[in-house]
Structures are given as C-alpha cells and as structure tokens.
Structure 1
C-alpha cells in the first residue's frame, strides 16, 4: 500500500455511482480505512486496519452490503454512516483482542472463578481447621465451570459464559447466563449463585495488569449492571416456609427432649444435647455456636458471649452478650467447669476405623465441624414428630419470640447478629402483630359509664 492514501468519494450513493470497478478507500484514523468495493451489480463495504500492539501488516474484513440506491437506512444494507460506525467498532474490538494477547494470556470468567474458589476454600479451611470446600465452590462449579462425571452423576458442561475473556465481557453475557439458569432453582438460590459469581468477577479486577485494565475500564460497571438484584418473586413461598419453622414452646421442648434421648442412645456424653440447647436458647447460627470458647460462658452474669458471624462485609468482630436462664447454664456446666478458658465450649468425639477391621473406635475430642449436625438432627426431628423442621428453625423461633415479647427491633437484630433491615424484611408480619399487641395493652376505657349503661353525651340528639 502506498504511504499516502488518496481518499475516494464514497460518502453518498451518487458519488459511488461515478467510481470505477475495484476498491476505493477513505481514512478512519491513521492506520484504519473504510473501503468500498464496487462490482458490476452491487457494492460492498470493507475495513482494513493495523493493530498497534502486534505491528503486523494491514488486516482486512468485510463489513456489509452497500446501499447504492439512496442514502437512507434499509434492511440488509448499510449507508456510509452506518458502515463507518460498523468499521470503527470492528477495528476497536480487533485492537482490544490484540492488546489482551500482547499483555499475556487473556483472563477469562473461568480463570476468575477458579481463583475465587481457591481463595474461598483456603479461607473456609483456615476457619474450620481442616481441608474443606466452600459452598460457593459447589454452586459455581455446577452452574458456571461445569463438572466431570462422578459415579452415577452425569457430567455437567461448562456454561458458555466461562469461556468469555474478561476484557470482552458484556452486560448481555451476564444477563444471558442468568436467564438460562434452570427454572426449578428457587429465586433465593439464584441470588446466592449470582452473588458468588459477582464476587468472583469483582475479585479478579485487582489482579488484572494495568494494560488489561485499559482494555475495558468499564468492567466493574458491567459487572454491577449485569448483576442488579432482581425482586424475588417467591416471597409468599418463602414466608410460608418460615411460618412452618416458627415453633411453639412445646415443640421446642419436644426437640430438646428428643436431643437428650438421641444423645444418650449414641453415647455422646451430653455433647449433642448441650449444642442443641445453646442453639435454642440463643437463636445463633450453628457456625457461631461451634466457635464458642469456654470463656464465652459467663456463669456469674448468666450470659453467653456469642462470637460474630462471618456473614456480611466485616464489622462482625467481637461478641454479643446473650442472657440465658439458669436451666441453660446448668446444662452447660459439664463443658465449663475445670476446662481451660480457650478450649472450645462445644466438642464431640471423632471416630476412626480400626486397621483391617470394620469396627470403629473413638479417636479424639475436638470442635464440631461444618456439617456434623446434619445426621443427628434427622434423628432428633423424627423422634420429636417434626420431620420438616430444620436447625435454623430455632433461630427463626428465637427472633419471633423476641418480637412477640416486645423487644425493640434493634435489640432483636443485635442479639441475633443481623441487621434491622433483614428483620423487617423477613419478619414484617410478626413485627406488626407484636406492635399491635403493645398498642392494645395501652388501650384504656374512655367512654364514661353509669350504672352499667353508657351515658349519653350532652348535646347529642336521641
């Protein structure tokens, strides 16, 4: 190509009609040109460009068919202005890809999610004291990265989104992925999954090189807009499920009696019973209770200092004092008296299989682990005649109990290590009922009575 470009008159259909057969060029920038190839029957728009990063020769690509009849937009053809826009966009995309390749292997959604899963697994392993896989990792592998065939479980292909390079990520990519999630997934499950993927992509931004950040400076805005929270449409279902988990005092008592019986049958030495009693008395999450230390039980003050939850964006450090009754303290005493202050308050026996035998024996005592309440809880709820009740029902019940007893919403939220917003969102009708009860208690007789009959107010007609 000559160093000096002679630009052709290709801006209008009339001007193009006077050109001879062949290709005619017009400048887009110093190293990009819009071309018009005139044929015997019709004309075609072309673009050629040179990438700044690879220094290669000019590349060329077709853009579309030219509208050589008039200069008005028409389906299937492009005017000069339309072709110019298409050409500029094409060159910009090509140069972005070239720049990403020059900066090194282009990071993708897959690499971002894998890095995030590794970070979450490492964090959860540190917290539990053993090698574990995070819940976020399970969700993201199933619905983003894909999974290989495991036993009777069929292989799950990766979502198309996984292959998208971060510099080329668009809002539509995220919306399409979200729309293609299985319809049978609950709205709350979809939102958790969405939050996991959003966190993975946001975490990838600091790891990108300065050059890669230049390629898509709107990356964080794209992630934010693509994952805007949608209104959960199954609020009625969620509310009904929560109603079924609000227990009466008698039902809580049945669960505790069942826990004591299962504990005795399994020779757990009170470990299981103490744990369930604490869950019922405090309304705390299992993840909080299992992290308690002996020093968190303050006998003289009759209170438990509950560690903050890992949920949320920090701010949950320290402990919250929760008053408990003498009956709860009495149950916990065997785990407190004579034990070091830094020892875990709730422990249980672990078992190991004897070599060359099917016999299991006790190995050592240690703190409860993430999923170890699942199996004994099944036995507890069956024994109590409450087959649908989950451990979290003790938390729901504790929150509602506080509201019904007239505690301020702020205090209920503080005791349960959550926010006023969450309490108002999920327990609104219980708040309304509790406030009505308080208002009713303030009602006093106002209408004067005499001899058991209502006195007619003076001035009123009969």
Structure 2
C-alpha cells in the first residue's frame, strides 16, 4: 500500500526556517511532489514524480531563496519549474514511444517531399523541385556537396526535437536569416517553415504539446509592416499596365510564338493569363472541359494557397476573341486533357537541332521566364515587369470598372483583405471616380 505523503509547509522563508535539516516534501498533484532539502546554509528545491507503483524519479531544480533572492527560486517559481521539468520529461517519453524522435529537420524533409511529389505528379518530371524545398534546404536543413552543388551548413534549429521546440528558438532562426533578403522573401521562407511544422503537428500531435501550433505561429510571425518600411510594394506602379499595353504584349507573344515554333502554345498561355488574371499554376491546370464557350467563360481551378474550403473552380467571363484563340486547343480533344500545353522538344540522334515530338504540361512557372524575356523586349516593357503584372492589371481593371471588391476578389481567387492591402491606391481612385460621377449641378443658373 502506498504511504501517505506527510506534507511540509514550504511556501515562505519563515515556514522553511522552522523546519529541521533534511528532506521535506509537498504535493503538487497525485504523482508529482516538490521537495526542499534544508542544509546548514540554506536549502535547494527538488522535484520527484511517479514512474511506477512505489517508484519515483528525482531531479534537482535549483537553490531556494532562503538568504539570496537573485538567481534563486521562491516557492511559486519552484512549483512552476517542477511542472515544466515533469512536462518536458513526459513529452520526451511520448516522443520516444515508437523509437522515432521527430525534429525540425524531419518535418521539413517530409514537407518538401510532399510538395515535390505533388509537383512531379502535376508536371510529369522527376527532376523538378519546388522553390519552397530549395529555400528550406538553403536556410534550414542544409545539404551535402554533390554534383555542381556546394555543401551548405544546416541551421542550428534543424536538429531541435519538435517536442522541445520553443518560440525563442524560432525567433532566433528567423532573425538570423540574411539581412540582404527582402522582407517579403523572409516572410515566404518563414511561411514555408511554418507550413512544414504545422503538417508535422497534424501527423504527430499525440506526441507534441497542445501549445505547439501557437508556438510556431508566434515564433515565426513577421509583420507585414516590414515590407512597407523597407519600401517594398507587391503591386508596383509599373506592374499595372493599361489595356493598350496588354494588347501589345499579346501581339508580341504571337510574334515570339511564331518565331520560336511554339505552335500557338505560348500565345494561348499569355492570352489566358491576361484574360483571367489567374495565377500561372491555376492556368496550367485548366482542362478542355473548363472552356464553356456557350457561356463565354472559363472555369479556372482553385489555387492551392491557404487551407480553407474553396470552390473547385471559379467561373471567369472572357471575350469572344479569347475563345477564338483557344479554339485550336480544344478541337478534337477529350474534356479531361490539359487545355494549355507546350511542345516537347528532343534532339534527333546525331543532330544538334531540337525538334518537337509531341506536347507536355507547362509545369513550373519558370518555363515562362525565357519566352517572357523575349515578349518583354518585343513589347518595349521595363526589364523588371514580370508575368504577374497581367494579374495585377486584371485586378486593377476590375476595381476601376467599379466592380464590388467581393466580386473582384472572387474572380481572382483571393480575399478582400489582400486586395485592400495591396491595391488600396487604386480602390481610392476608383471611389473618387464613382463619387465624381454622382456630382450634379445644384446651384440654379
């Protein structure tokens, strides 16, 4: 039969001063006791917790504040330290229950493999990696030298067990990112690490503390004000293009397409990007059945951004000119086929010339980098104008047309908050125009 604990009064210095030398205990809960060992020159705090019937594990916590207060523990601090010590031990025991201790490194590697596998499935290429995988490798897990790649040292946080991860460790990693990185880039890398850790929590939550998600959220938080203070703007002035310039880009795309033997594939991609304002990853997943010519619209697939529930596709109205340009990509093809593809190029044996041997998915947005450079040159665009300018311009076009922000957000698969944050200037301009249109003469002639 278990012995009844004889509890000592340990809460104050005066109470402890009346105790005799030796070890005294006080219960914290049914299985955990706070101990006080009194000596001739003061005492120390201990904690013990039950590991089996009649068996306890004991650990030292620190000196009591009997004579000196600086660097010592009073009763309340000792109770907190005891609870934290026992909780840490029990977390570690749970983490080791199946012989596998998950770390930040293992969480990042699992997340990167999931993202890369999804990309390989979408593109059919085994060699591709996502930008997030490369960034996490560079700034978290490191890599060994191989091929043309030099070795990279892992960040100190990489080998921290998930059950021991603290907000301070995450903040230190975030603050140690190179200062040369843009604030937006730091946010993206932090968001990737947060996603990796959150995925690990969903998979292993029985082994991790309930506070783990909050620890991750707070430790990796970067205020969006940092971008504004650094002078970064997502929708820069020169990325908002007038309709006439969009027309020049489409004309340039047609010329580059013809010169590069794209067979209309490049031309159609640029047209759809400009007409829908969708992200490249969404446009690349359009199928033949997503073209609803009878209703003059495209059913644009939902983006993979965010975790909330979304409709499978968003109907986006397009003009007859866009439908006419897409007609060759629809004719004679099955509804489930990808609408937009690119030529699959191969060299014939013994030849230097590349020839088209079929079609393949567009894959990553990086496939558009080289042809876009030619389009930009042909359309006399500034060197820093990117394909995403077509999306920026489409959003601002809807705002200037007086469409409700909720509709603009829905058509572009984003949120009203995002539009207000990044396109506030054009919202204000549009409201000014609407208000000016409502002005009528009031003073009699």
TM-score interval w.r.t. the shorter chain?
A: 0.7 to 0.9
Counterpart check, 1:266 vs 2:264: no
| Contact residue 34 and residue 84 of structure 1 kept, 8 A | no
Q: Say if 2:341 is the partner of 1:342.
A: no
Equivalent residue for 1:36? Answer: 37
Q: What is the aligned partner in structure 2 of residue 399 from structure 1?
A: 395
Q: How has the CA–CA distance of structure 1 residues 15 and 429 changed in structure 2, closer, same or farther, with 3 Å as cutoff? A: closer
Tell me, in whole angstroms, the C-alpha distance in 2 between the residues paired with 1:96 and 1:240. 42
Rate the CA distance shift 1:306–1:82 in 2: closer, same or farther, 3 A: closer
Aligned to 1:47: 46
Q: 1:108 aligns with which of 103, 122, 136?
A: 103
Summarize the alignment of residues 3-22 of structure 1 with structure 2, pairs less than 5 Å apart.
12=13
Contact 1:44/1:64, CA 8 A, preserved across alignment: no
* 1:25 Cα offset (Å): 1.2
Aligned counterpart, 2:373: 378
Q: Could you say what secondary structure the match of 1:208 adopts? A: helix
1:260-294 Cα distance to aligned partner (Å, 9 max, x none): 22112211122211221222222222222222223
Indicate the SS of the match to 1:125: helix
CA distance in structure 1 between the partners assigned to 2:403 and 2:58 by the alignment: 72
> Deviation of residue 170 (structure 1)?
2.3
Q: TM-score, normalised by structure 2?
A: 0.84
Distance 1:353 1:240 in 2: 41
Does the 8 A contact of 2:20 with 2:38 survive in 1? no
- Unaligned ranges ≥5, structure 1: 450-462
Q: Secondary structure at the match of 2:114?
A: helix
Which of 140, 146, 154 lines up with 1:144 in the alignment? 140
Matching of residues 430-449 of structure 1 within 5 Å: 430-449=426-445
State the TM-score, normalizing by the size of structure 1: 0.81
Q: CA deviation at 1:381?
A: 0.9
Q: Is the 8 A contact 1:309 1:417 kept in 2?
A: yes
Larger Rg: 1
Within the alignment, does 1:307 sit opposite 2:301 as a pair? yes
Q: Could you say which residue in structure 1 is the equivalent of 2:195?
A: 199
Task: Return 45-54 or 270-279, whichever deviates more.
Answer: 45-54
CA deviation string 1:29-83 (max 9, x = no partner): 56756353636xx45626364661799885554x4445554xxx52244456655
Please list every run of 5 or more consecutive structure 2 residues that lacks an aligned counterpart in the other structure: none
Secondary structure of the 2:133 match is helix
Structure 1 residue 248 displacement after superposition: 2.2
Change (3 A) 1:37 1:359: farther
Report the alpha carbon displacement of residue 350 of structure 1 after superposing the two structures with TM. 0.9
Shift of 1:180: 2.3
C-alpha distance 345-76 of structure 1, shift in aligned 2 (>3 A): closer
Larger RCO of the pair (alpha carbons < 8 Å, separation 6+):
2
The match for 1:422 is 418
Whether the aligned pair in 2 keeps the contact of 1:282 and 1:324 (CA below 8 Å) is no
CA contact (8 A) 2:140 2:157 kept: yes
Aligned to 1:220: 213
